A and B are shown apart, each in its own frame.
Chain A
Amino acid sequence: GAGVSQSPRYKVAKRGQDVALRCDPISGHVSLFWYQQALGQGPEFLTYFQNEAQLDKSGLPSDRFFAERPEGSVSTLKIQRTQQEDSAVYLCASSFRYNEQFFGPGTRLTVL
């Protein structure tokens, strides 16, 4: 079956622009996670959904970051007024059981 997909794979934004990153999880996976991976670092947790409910957003770095999963499947991570420090790879993962996450290929965001 299909794995986790993310789009776009690459995004270049000018500083101040808004961006939206999409994640299609594996069908039937209840849990969905977003991570941010800066260059040369390990992924860092951003936010977690169980179905459509956002249960933890403690990792979101600022109020410019917003995530949603309105129907409990596809999720969108939105970044408003992008800054250079937002440049990173954004990874989405989904899980049926909370201790086994399957990752998408990521979206590489470059803010100029």
Chain B
Amino acid sequence: DAKTTQPPSMDCAEGRAANLPCNHSTISGNEYVYWYRQIHSQGPQYIIHGLKNNETNEMASLIITEDRKSSTLILPHATLRDTAVYYCIVRVGVKTSYDKVIFGPGTSLSVIP
């Protein structure tokens, strides 16, 4: 199973871009990279996901390296409400009959005024 490695914590100034890295060097060619966040013991919230190409939505951008061994989540203008634990996960298994998601410790992002 592909696993991910993230820094345990990061700080970001309010209004600046937050760049959260994730390593997934054992990712398989048909596995997706997902990002979720969790605000203070609430249920995790989906942010974005991608396979090969960079992706952007109203919340964030996802940059995946060409070799797919790492990715970066970008919050373009971080606000205090973005303070949360961010999880980078890889979807394990591609058959529709098998779906397993592994969450690691994540990165605790603190947005500082």
Q: Do A and B bind each other?
A: no
Q: What is B's interface to A at a CB cutoff of 8 Å?
A: none
Q: What is A's interface to B at a CB cutoff of 8 Å?
A: none
